[in-house]
Chains A and B, each alone.
Chain A
Amino acid sequence: MDIQSFTKLSDTQWRIEPRGAMRVPAVIFASEPLLRELDDKVVEQAMNVASLPGIVEAAYVMPDGHWGYGFPIGGVAAFDAEAGGVVSGGGVGFDISCGVRTLHTGLDRAAILQVQESLAEALYYRIPVGVGSTGGVHLDRRGMDAMLKGGARWAVEQGYGKQEDLARIEEHGCMAGADPSKVSDHAKKRQQDEMGTLGSGNHYLEVQEVVEVYAPEIAAAFDIALGDIKVSIHCGSRGLGHQIGTEYLKRMVIAAPQHGIRLPDRELACAPIDSALGRDYLGAMRAGINCALANRQIITHLARKVFAELFGAELSLLYDVSHNTCKVEEHVVAGHRRRLHVHRKGATRAFGPGHPELPEDLRPAGQPVLIGGTMGTASYILSGTAEGMGLAFASACHGAGRAMSRHAATRRWQGRAVQNELAERGILIRSPSPRGIAEEAPGAYKDVSEVVEAADRAGLARRIARLEPLVCIKG
């Protein structure tokens, strides 16, 4: 990327001034080395987003930004319904409400190492993972609609988890405004065998050790200490979300001319928030969010069983974040409080201290921001900051971001070799697919530490702790 085309606002903030059809600037958060590595396509996509109707302030790209479809991955954009703003299926993505949750185990490294192999086997046996895997929860029509309305709250009512989990989930475990009648029968059918499954690709369940703590005070508020063992789950709304994305994207592409919207890229497919199609999509997408929350809740239940049996341990929830969403939030823009539809595609909400949405016991510290890493590197826990509230609508990065295509990765690595190499380093991988492991090799990703450091330096979120995997169940 030629950095001459940017206005440098700070060491970590770079702006492209509006030109052509752009209504607002595009702003990229990245260190200079990350910016130099950035694909030209990411900038092109951010500029396209900046041209959509009703966009407010700027089209933002997080430090893990990479080429998506329509919106860049790591993209944040807010729209005002009153200013003709749009909601975009491409701005949320196919895996609606894909996200990360992290659980406390109360265990230490020594406890895990004693049974590391059997723990890996038990988790791999219990948690459905990979292509063609099916879950143990099958829902009839009424059950499906109740799940789509109720999210994790529904799951807890069904016996998957505890009431106190809900406070530690965005939206308190249940996304309001979900409309199951706007979710097609096809989408529901695609979900019928997939409740409580991890999926494949970059989705995982990991047992991780806290290896570094950067901010002890906030870490303590999050109940994180050096040497702690945590469990992190990364997955989304499975087939249901993918099908909602597919169907509404098509409807939005076809309806764009009727709404007077000229799409610079069909994948930016969108509809006015204040239109029948916009409202239908929001109702369906929110049902998709609930599906993801219920799914992670069921997987949590399965993981809890394993830890109860092997250790007599009880897992409690640190937090659950979603990084593919569109949510209605209030933000102060140029001194005025405005109600905006904030799209985060591969970006994590990061509310600062005192935000009313946060549970009381976490409110003074800010929101935990959970950043997934790769199998061989590290994951991070960050916290939302007061400064970040005014930077990119309270958003931060979501992961490492791919640096290499899946093909390039399989040419370079072999699944078994990657697995053996990681085992020698004390990280046990269990996966049904050697090729999947090669495609997800740690080297195929950007350096997550550099991404997180850039997010921290930019003030988007503060770095709290670094976690390294001991066991990884991978799709």
Chain B
Amino acid sequence: MIGQTPRWEHFEHRADIGVAGYGRTAAEALEQAALALTAILCDPATVAASERVEIQCEAPDLELLLVDWLNALIYEMATRHLLFSRFRVQLDGGRLQGEAWGEPVDRARHQPAVEVKGATYTGLEAGQRPDGTWFARCVVDV
């Protein structure tokens, strides 16, 4: 059953691409959405979790928090030239305390396909389904 297994997926957008994360908690859904973000660039399984980065964000609701979280990761990837493969999120009201583990981009090994410019408010939804699963999704601009 979906509610038991954290997972991520991409969804279709004509010009760009959508990321979606599912989990048993809102935090888990955000972690999975971050994995989906990495998977736009490369196969997350090829990325070692050797460097750790801390991330904090704040937003009035879970949807805006998802966009903030993904944008914070995009910023860290761009300025530190890192790719991430493992994430931990803790939520406290409108505050997100996050950690991301990854390694520097190795163009030969990771073969990154495309840069991500930013997470958008398009197709943005986050919340809990009737079966208890938490989800978080939005389109990202590439």
Task: Give A residues with C-beta under 8 Å from B.
Answer: 39, 41, 66-70, 73, 93-95, 130-132, 134, 186, 189-190, 192-194, 199-201, 239, 242-243, 245-246, 249-250, 253-254, 265-267, 269, 402-408, 432-436, 439, 475
Is B141's beta carbon under 8 Å from chain A? yes
Partner among A73, A201, A253 whose Cβ is within 8 Å of the Cβ of B115 = A201
Partner among B15, B17, B119, B121 whose Cβ is within 8 Å of the Cβ of A70 = B121
CB distance from A303 to the nearest CB of B (A): 21
Task: Give B residues with C-beta under 8 Å from A.
Answer: 10, 12-17, 41, 59-60, 64, 67-68, 71, 74-75, 78-79, 81, 105, 107, 111-115, 117-122, 124, 139, 141-142
Interface pairs (5), CB distance under 8 Å? A131-B41, A186-B75, A267-B120, A405-B14, A406-B142
Interface centre among B74, B75, B113, B142 (most CB of A within 10 A): B113
B13 and A67 contacting across the interface, CB-CB below 8 Å: yes
Q: Which residue of B lies closest to A194 (CB)?
A: B78
Tell me which residues across on chain B come within 8 A of A66, comparing CB atoms: 14-15
The answer to whether residues A250 and B15 also contact, given A70-B121, A242-B118 and a CB cut-off of 8 A, is: no
CB distance from B15 to the nearest CB of A (A): 5
Interface centre among A68, A95, A434 (most CB of B within 10 A): A68
A131 and B105 contacting across the interface, CB-CB below 8 Å: yes
Q: Which residue of B lies closest to A404 (CB)?
A: B14
Tell me which residues across on chain B come within 8 A of A250, comparing CB atoms: 59, 64, 67-68
Tell me which residues across on chain B come within 8 A of A68, comparing CB atoms: 15, 122
> Complex: how many Å from CA A31 to CA B68?
40
Tell me which residues across on chain B come within 8 A of A239, comparing CB atoms: 78-79
> Complex: how many Å from CA A405 to CA B12?
6
Tell me which residues across on chain A come within 8 A of B113, comparing CB atoms: 131, 200, 433, 435-436, 439
Q: Which residue of A lies closest to B68 (CB)?
A: A250
> Complex: how many Å from CA A260 to CA B64?
20
Tell me which residues across on chain A come within 8 A of B107, comparing CB atoms: 130-132, 432
Partner among B12, B41, B75 whose Cβ is within 8 Å of the Cβ of A407 = B12
Tell me which residues across on chain A come within 8 A of B121, comparing CB atoms: 69-70, 249, 253, 265-267, 269
The answer to whether residues A70 and B122 also contact, given A132-B81, A201-B142, A250-B64 and a CB cut-off of 8 A, is: yes
B14 and A67 contacting across the interface, CB-CB below 8 Å: yes
Q: 6 closest Cβ contacts across the A-B interface?
A: A131-B112, A132-B105, A69-B122, A266-B121, A435-B113, A242-B117
Tell me which residues across on chain B come within 8 A of A245, comparing CB atoms: 117-118
The answer to whether residues A246 and B118 also contact, given A130-B112, A253-B64, A433-B113 and a CB cut-off of 8 A, is: yes
Q: Which residue of A lies closest to B71 (CB)?
A: A246
Tell me which residues across on chain B come within 8 A of A406, comparing CB atoms: 16-17, 114, 142
Partner among B13, B59, B111 whose Cβ is within 8 Å of the Cβ of A435 = B111
> Complex: how many Å from CA A250 to CA B68?
9
Tell me which residues across on chain B come within 8 A of A41, comparing CB atoms: 14
> Complex: how many Å from CA A405 to CA B114?
14
A131 and B122 contacting across the interface, CB-CB below 8 Å: no
> Complex: how many Å from CA A134 to CA B139?
26
Q: Which residue of A lies closest to B113 (CB)?
A: A435
